[in-house]
Copies of this chain bind each other. A is one copy, B any other.
Amino acid sequence: MALSSDWFSEICRGSGTAFSLEIKEKLHEEQSLFQKIEIYDTATFGKLMIIDGCTMLSTRDNFIYHEMMSHPALYSHPDPQRIVIIGGGDCGTLHEVLKHPGVNEARLIDIDERVTRLSEIYFPELCASNHDRRAIISFEDGIQWMKNAAPGSVDIIIVDSTDPVGPAEGLFSRDFFIDCLGALRDNGIIVQQSESPFLHMDIIKNMHHAMRDAGFNHVKTLNFPQCIYPSGWWSCTMASRTNRLDDVRIKDINSRPFETQYYNADIHRAALALPEFMNHELRFGQAPD
């Protein structure tokens, strides 16, 4: 049965799957310098941003992704003060990071200013902290920025990128991870979105290898549901040279001065549990280091 034109469908290349949302109207479409950006108003998921044909975020379900890209890494670090976000132009991750009172500076570096300008219009709730005095937002190449970063100057690097094709491809490489390692202080952590465990296990596996090759001794993948992404099952991968990633500040999670909709201490631990097939694929990776 074919869906009518009232639906937006993302066909996941190679996987033979597609996910669709019922659309009320297209609100915007443009070709930026880097990518094609579309904004839709959906019937049940609020606003929807599409980049180069791929679903990026919806009003309704972005909370899971943004909470899981920020809080597990920040609560795995004893005292995260300086945060760098590569990508993340919708500003949702920045908004979560700035909820941590100990953060002194959160720098967002996205290559495409148009993503942020459109997010300010269509996802204003995600941009609510853009004028926080601790926020620094710049539009430039994150790979280049990381090459020039002052050594040992950052506590957490969050790579909140699109899929590893097009402008984001370099963000999944060993060379980029080496630059990240150099920028991180002791106990520093990088966390990166790492696609679907069900559909893209090869990407997760390659990321583990590239991170370890770059000098990150501890690498752990976290699972979470994400309805609008291919397979509905997504992941992020944390890595550190010296931080074993298992000394989680549980007490601080339980007394956090902000509300979450998805994340809590039980979910943090649960996200680290790997199904058998992932244990098998990552048997040199996630096992106790």
A residues contacting B by CB (< 8 A) are 1-5, 7-9, 11, 15-22, 42-45, 61, 64, 198, 223, 225-227, 231-233, 259-264, 266-267, 269-277, 279
Contacts and interface: CB of A to CB of B under 8 A. Distances in A.
Given A19-B18, A45-B16, A225-B198, A260 B276 contact: yes
A190 B206 CA distance: 41
Contact of A198 (B4, B61, B274): B61
A-B pairs with lowest CB-CB distance, top 4: A232-B232, A16-B44, A270-B273, A270-B270
Contact of A2 (B2, B45, B270, B271): B2
**Quick one: copies of this chain in the complex?**
2
Contacts of A279: 264
28 contacts: A1-B8, A2-B2, A2-B5, A3-B9, A7-B18, A9-B20, A16-B22, A17-B20, A17-B21, A18-B19, A18-B20, A18-B22, A64-B275, A225-B231, A225-B232, A227-B231, A259-B276, A260-B276, A261-B277, A262-B275, A262-B276, A263-B275, A264-B276, A266-B274, A269-B269, A270-B270, A270-B272, A270-B273
Contacts of A270: 269-273
A231 B226 CA distance: 8
- Centre residue among A45, A261, A275 by max chain B CB count within 10 A: A275
Contacts of A272: 270
Contacts of A22: 16-18
Contacts of A271: 270
Given A2-B9, A267-B275, A279-B264, A19 B21 contact: no
